[in-house]
Amino acid sequence: MTTNVREKFSSQAAPDVLLALRQIAENQGRQFQAVLDDALRDYIDRQQKERPRRHVMAAFASSLDEFDHLYRELAK
């Protein structure tokens, strides 16, 4: 879904939402547009997928591999 082509659009948002996005961009040393793009992509991912994302499940599987014994002990 990543692309270098950009399309201008116009919209409105609550001032506190825009402020939060601007602060995130400033704190991360990124452009506002890049942070907004990430936020939109994250929203799209969450809306289109009813199951956890692959990287989340991969981290979960890795955790199970590494800490299976601990989890079994905690479950007792």
pTM over cut 0.95: no
High-pLDDT (> 70) share of the chain, %: 92
Are 38 and 24 contacting, i.e. CB atoms less than 8 angstroms apart? Answer: no
pLDDT tens-digit map of 21-52: 999 999 999 999 999 999 999 998 888 877 77
pLDDT bracket for residue 76 (50, 70, 90):
confident
| Average pLDDT rounded to a whole number, residues 5-11 | 91
* Domain parsing of the chain, residue ranges: 15-75
